[in-house]
């Protein structure tokens, strides 16, 4: 797979992908014929299917997608109850939010990540089915929920060229399919999935919600190792950078860290990260890389940081001149977050609050869990609704009619800790 720098957010994911392939080996090649001819042809087939889907009534489209996911589920059936009390509370929140703001609320069904064990893989399509039907029940009218999912070669390497092409072409148009690695495909394939690049997924999500649409996404952002490295470790480093005395001069901070930490200097000068121009992003990438060594991956899988990653975090704090008490607080929070399968996702929830709700579009958040190992149960959890709030704050409408306001960091942590593992 081509992981050369491209100068976008892909370069951050490439750090993760290199470590993944170093640990488990690269996927089997699909060959020039598969990549250059078979896959693009089926991408076009997928796009054609997306055009057909757009012409169908919304309820018929939902029914067909439900049947498709039922076909591939290949596991125990979990009946859906449209009269679920949590769905009724979410619908009531949407109605009340519309009364308060004068605009229909957007809705986001946020899923817990299903276990990755072979006997639990059926839960992914089962949860997608519940999410689609759950949002339809909340709306009480036809709707077209959009699923956020990766459709790049890294995510779909278990499929053959025909399956990968069809899935990527269809999902990148009907849903919010996105590619974290674009260069794995030839130019024809890249052209057929244009607009689905990783750096565009955040604007696509915010645009959908801002238009009052319906979203389905796995809140953790990936399997536990991916989520902990990318959304816990990396974002913790980002917070240190932005809050540090050196926040106004990332280039100087990066140069100072290079002088103080030879491992960072070697990482910065390597050709693998040449496309990362931001000093802050480069520091984030380095700590994430340290956390994804073979021993680091094992530690993350167990819900903790290994000594190499911890040492990198201390080195960064020293170079950024972070006060010792702030570093202690940051490490304590990071350790609590890494111990979880679902990070707090503060940046995501802050963006939804600050760039959607703050502009007058309330957003109903509807969590969907799967219970626990040995006691699997698909269950919609307590919903909340984000209302317009000042910058850096989250104003929350709860099912009992109350309205509470808190810093977005506190809201994110409370929301995730009380509903996800």
Please report whether residue 296 resides in a domain.
yes
Residues 178 and 297 reside in one and the same domain: no
Mean pLDDT of the chain: 90
How many other C-beta atoms lie within 10 A of the C-beta of residue 153?
25
Residues 332, 378 share a domain: no
Residue 160 reports pLDDT greater than 90: no
Structure-derived torsion over alpha carbons of residues 374, 376, 382, 384, reported in degrees to the nearest 10: 110
Question: Does some domain include residue 267?
Answer: yes
Q: What is the pLDDT of residue 37?
A: 86
Distance between CA atoms of 69 and 132, rounded to whole angstroms? 11
Residues 104 and 41 in one domain: yes
pLDDT of residue 74: 82
pLDDT of 271 reads 72
- CA-CA distance, 274 to 31, in Å (whole number)? 28
Q: What is the pLDDT of residues 220-241, one digit of tens each?
A: 988 899 899 999 999 999 999 9
Residue 1 lies in a domain: no
Q: What share of the chain has pLDDT > 70, as a percent? A: 97
Q: Are residues 118 and 56 in the same domain?
A: yes
Stronger pLDDT, 247 or 29, i.e. the higher one:
247
The predicted model scores a pTM of 0.92
More confident residue, 8 or 401: 401
Q: Does 123 score more than 80 pLDDT?
A: yes
If you compute the radius of gyration of the chain from its CA atoms, what whole number of angstroms results?
Answer: 22
Give the tens place of pLDDT for each residue, 177-187.
998 877 777 78
Indicate the range of 26-30, 72-76, 215-219, 228-232 predicted with least confidence: 26-30
Mean pLDDT over 406-421 rounds to 95
**Does any domain span residue 4?**
no
Domain limit, last residue, from 320, 338, 356 = 338
Q: Are 294 and 20 in contact (CB under 8 A)?
A: no
> Comparing 74 with 88, which gets the higher pLDDT?
88
Domain, as residue range, for 311: 225-338
Please check whether residues 253 and 351 belong to one and the same domain.
no
Helix (H), strand (E) at residue 218: strand 214-218
CA 264 to chain CA mean position, Å: 27
**Res 102: pLDDT:** 96
Mean pLDDT over 364-377 rounds to 90
Between 369 and 246, the higher pLDDT residue: 369
Same domain for 273 and 155, yes or no, is no
271 shares its domain with 196: no
Answer whether residue 246 shows pLDDT above 90: no
Q: Decide which of 312, 338, 364 is a domain's last residue.
A: 338
pLDDT, tens digit (0-9, with 9 covering 90-100), for 4-36: 767 777 888 888 788 877 776 666 667 777 777
* Among 41-55, 269-283, 402-416, the least confident range: 269-283
Average pLDDT over residues 174-195: 84
- Residue 409 and residue 179: Cα distance in Å, rounded? 28
CB 225 within 8 A of CB 297: yes
Of the candidates 110, 120, 10, the residue with the CA atom closest to the CA atom of residue 343:
110
Tell whether the model's pLDDT for residue 44 goes beyond 90.
yes
100 and 185 belong to one structural domain: yes
Number of domains in the chain: 2
**372 phi/psi in degrees, rounded to 5:** -150, 165
The H or E element spanning position 15 is helix 10-24
Verify that 143 and 187 share a domain, yes or no. yes
Q: For residue 295, give both structure tokens.
A: 């021993």
Q: State the pLDDT at residue 399.
A: 86
Rounded CA gap, 327 and 239, in Å? Answer: 11
Based on the fold, state whether residues 192 and 46 are members of the same structural domain.
Answer: yes
pLDDT band at 55 (very low <50, low <70, confident <90, very high): very high
Residue 2 maps to a domain: no
Q: Give the range among 241-255, 312-326, 343-357 with minimum mean pLDDT.
A: 241-255
Q: Is the pLDDT of residue 67 over 90?
A: yes
> Is residue 251 situated within a structural domain?
yes
pLDDT at 194: 86
Q: Does 5 map to a domain?
A: no
Q: Is 22 helix (H, G, I), strand (E, B) or coil?
A: helix
Contact 290, 224 (CB under 8 A): no
- Is 3 a domain residue? no
Q: Among 321, 338, 355, which residue terminates a domain?
A: 338
> Do 109 and 211 share a domain, yes or no?
yes
Q: Are residues 230 and 202 in the same domain?
A: no
* 357 has a pLDDT exceeding 70: yes
């Amino acid at each position: 797979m081509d992981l050369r720098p491209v100068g976008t957010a892909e370069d951050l994911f490439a750090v993760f992908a290199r470590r993944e392939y170093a640990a488990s080996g690269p996927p089997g090649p699909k060959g020039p014929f598969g990549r250059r001819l078979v896959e693009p042809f089926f991408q076009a087939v997928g796009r054609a299917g997306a055009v057909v889907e757009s012409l169908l009534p919304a309820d018929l489209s939902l029914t067909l997608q439900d049947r498709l996911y039922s076909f591939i589920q290949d596991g125990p059936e979990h009946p859906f109850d449209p009269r679920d009390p949590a769905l009724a509370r979410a619908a009531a929140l949407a109605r009340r939010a519309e009364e308060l703001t004068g605009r229909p609320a957007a809705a986001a069904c946020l899923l817990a990540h299903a276990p990755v064990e072979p006997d639990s893989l059926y839960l992914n399509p089962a949860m997608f089915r519940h999410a689609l039907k759950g949002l339809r029940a909340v709306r009480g009218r036809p709707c077209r929920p959009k699923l956020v999912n990766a459709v790049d070669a890294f995510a779909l390497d278990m499929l053959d060229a025909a399956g990968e092409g069809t899935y990527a072409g269809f999902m990148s148009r009907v849903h919010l399919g996105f590619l974290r690695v674009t260069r794995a495909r030839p130019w024809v394939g890249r052209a057929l999935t244009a607009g689905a690049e990783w750096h565009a997924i955040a604007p696509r999500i915010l645009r959908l919600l801002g238009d009052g649409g319906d979203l389905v996404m796995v809140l953790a952002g990936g399997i536990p190792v991916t989520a902990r490295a990318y959304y816990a470790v990396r974002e913790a480093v980002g917070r240190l950078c932005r809050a540090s005395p050196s926040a106004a001069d990332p280039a100087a901070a990066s140069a100072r860290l290079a002088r103080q930490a030879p491992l960072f200097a070697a990482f910065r000068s390597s050709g693998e990260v040449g496309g990362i121009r931001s000093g802050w992003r480069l520091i984030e990438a380095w700590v994430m890389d340290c956390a994804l060594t073979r021993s680091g991956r094992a530690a993350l899988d167990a819900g903790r940081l290994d000594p190499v990653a911890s040492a990198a975090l201390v080195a960064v704090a020293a170079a950024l001149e972070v006060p010792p008490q702030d570093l202690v607080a940051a490490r304590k929070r990071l350790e609590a977050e890494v111990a979880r399968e679902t990070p707090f996702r503060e940046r995501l929830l802050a963006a939804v609050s600050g760039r959607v709700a703050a502009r007058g579009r309330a957003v109903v958040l509807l969590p969907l869990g799967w219970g626990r190992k040995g006691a699997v149960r698909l269950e919609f959890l307590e919903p909340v609704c984000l209302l317009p709030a000042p910058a850096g704050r989250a104003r929350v409408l709860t099912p009992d009619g109350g309205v509470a306001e808190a810093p977005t960091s506190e809201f994110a942590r409370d929301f995730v800790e009380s509903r996800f593992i």
